[in-house]
A and B are shown apart, each in its own frame.
Chain A
Amino acid sequence: MTNPLLSVKDLVIEFPTRFGPLTAVDTINFDLAPGEILGVVGESGAGKSLTGSAIMGLLDPPGRIASGEIWLKGERIDNLPNEAQRAIRGRRISMVFQDPLTSLNPLYTIAEQLIETIRTHLKVSESEARKRAIGLLDDVGIPAAERRIDDYPHQFSGGMRQRVVIALALAAEPELVIADEPTTALDVSVQAQIIDVLKEQCSERGASVILITHDMGVIAETANRVAVMYSGRIAEIGPVKDIIQNAMHPYTVGLMGSIPTLAQEEDRLVQIPGSMPRLNDIPQGCAFNPRCDRAFEKCRIDRPDLIDQGTRQVACWLYDETVLAKGKIA
């Protein structure tokens, strides 16, 4: 494997409370290759967005990285002073947020916002920056970019605004783009367009993407690899096709079955009983064990780590060699 662009090692994110710290993200590990699109999927509260914010250095206090490391191209970035983090943020790692209306400033024109971003990160003149800005808007598919660049955000539709946000994220030619639910606020017909633009523009620029979403369908069509998160941990990570066609972790199996699809005609959806545990009430052992129909004794006591399974890794005792050897599972 080539040197990873980004390595997350044993990342733990905690929120201190009066009753002791709550662990929202618990010891997650993954690598991201240059140019790769990694999908991060999970239900609300699984820790997807926190992981994204932590990489970006944008964790809101009191949330904090309690332990673990984040490496960008062989350089550790999680413990840098604020100034140094600012130099990375936007320049080398940038972010696309869910709601394009709140991520653009309504009081400035698109031109002002784009030019400000470009000139903050790159040493170019005002006119050069404007030229680049128009080029960017053109690339993300805004018609008549030259004219529309002087419009305000409210003059754009939701889909067009999200295109502008993507242009902003790409303005400084970052190596990594973190897209946090970039299409959740949009209609389906527009969603497909935005996903296409994001995918195409990032691959043209050779930028890696971390695509955070709750929509497995979006990931199926976009990502190379997918990490399935549950209760602050990675349950399963591997190539998208493998995981969709042959999920191994019982949570992933349940998740896939519960998604209504256009193709199949089953009468009932698979349902996982219960819901994800609250942070102050994460069960001992595997966090999924109370909802898992294949759970056995060990699942209730010990917590599984990621186990290599060919092209992917699964955090489930069902695939542990010593457990398999004992033949305990029916």
Chain B
Amino acid sequence: MTQPLIKVANLTRIFDVSKPWLNRIIEREQKQYLRAVDDVSFEINKGETLALVGESGSGKSTIAKMLVGLLSPSKGAVLFDDQPMRMDTSDEMQELRKRFQMIFQSPYASLNPRWKVMDIIAEPMTVLGIEEDQNQIAKRVDELLVLVGLSAADGAKFPHEFSGGQRQRIAIARALSANPEFIVCDEPTSALDVSVQAQILNLMRDLQDELGLTYLFISHDLSVVRHMANRIGVLYLGALVEVAESKALFKDPRHPYTRMLLDAVPDLEMAGREHKEIEGEIPNPINPPSGCTFHPRCPFANERCKNEVPKPVQTQTGFAACHGVEEGRI
């Protein structure tokens, strides 16, 4: 068994979404809280890709931000190689920060338009104090550009001279420049066209094999996730409802929400197939349903599901949080 690189324990994040103080007084309203992430625990082993899938509002990006210390958890902790992740700038944190990086969704927003590509890629090295020598930095930037499939001469250009796919390659080069072990990828291809998406996904897999990277891959697209991940976690309203190995999840999904998601994905192989009717939409996370939050949309829901929050039940390759699975009726 490989050692887990990341341990996430009972991670919870609550946002205060109250109206301003004066409005609350006049309208006699209570403070309102949104549980964006609710008691999420998982581990990521060295060299593996864990994917988190979920629809909008399921807490994917909030988890990603807490994992790299861009957001502090309300409860719970993130352990990176057994060291707790914090948001301060202590020496230990700076040392820890060299070991992980993040790739963002939109390569249009994540690259500074006024910086040259070589400066963008060099920034993590200088900020984290990894390399001081300018010649060494320039050499490393050239290497990185070639590694992600661009040419060394591209370093002198500005981001606007590149297409979306090329920009995402630059973002990947930047993430790699500090030699991280772990990269959080938050919807890295959802702003790209399919043929470009394929290039980026292949590149990310090649880099993983070459450099032994560990990925947390966040996406709303199940077919992309299937292609990238070893294990998959399914999020619904901030909670992990099912975790399983990739193959097992697609072959034998246990949680009713996972089944529904799989059934909803339009797929090439399924031309002319009839969809099962899907009920309802994601409820408002400020006022989530009682018990199992999925029960209003679940075809298997009963009295217990309405009242009692389900606990994770062991499955073959992971767990599912469902009363139906526990009772053996699903």
Chain A residues with a Cβ under 8 A of chain B: 43-44, 157-160, 187-193, 195-196, 214-218, 220-221, 240-241, 244, 254-265, 268-273, 275-276
Contacts and interface: CB of A to CB of B under 8 A. Distances in A.
Contacts of A262: 222-223, 226, 250, 262, 265, 267, 269
Interface residues of B, number: 43
Contact of A43 (B195, B227, B261, B278): B195
B268 A159 contact: no
A195 B195 contact: no
Main secondary structure of the interface of B (DSSP, over half): helix
B275 to A, nearest CB: 5
B49 to A, nearest CB: 13
22 contacts: A43-B194, A44-B193, A157-B281, A187-B220, A187-B281, A188-B261, A189-B281, A196-B277, A216-B268, A217-B268, A218-B266, A221-B267, A221-B271, A221-B272, A221-B273, A244-B268, A244-B271, A260-B224, A263-B269, A270-B198, A271-B195, A276-B193
B271 A188 contact: no
B194 A188 contact: no
Nearest to A257: B198
Contacts of A189: 55, 260-261, 264, 278, 281-282
Contacts, number: 128
Contacts of A241: 271-272
B199 interface: yes
B264 A261 contact: no
A263 B261 CA distance: 15
Nearest to B250: A262
Contacts of B224: 260
A237 to B, nearest CB: 16
Given A188-B220, A262-B250, A269-B227, A193 B278 contact: yes
A100 B250 CA distance: 32
Contacts of B56: 187
B264 A191 contact: yes
Given A187-B55, A192-B275, A254-B195, A217 B205 contact: no
A262 B269 CA distance: 9
Which of A215, A221, A256 has the most chain B CB atoms closer than 10 A to its own CB? Answer: A221
A182 B112 CA distance: 32
B165 interface: yes
Contacts of A195: 266
A217 B266 CA distance: 5
Contacts of B268: 216-217, 220, 244, 256, 259, 261, 263
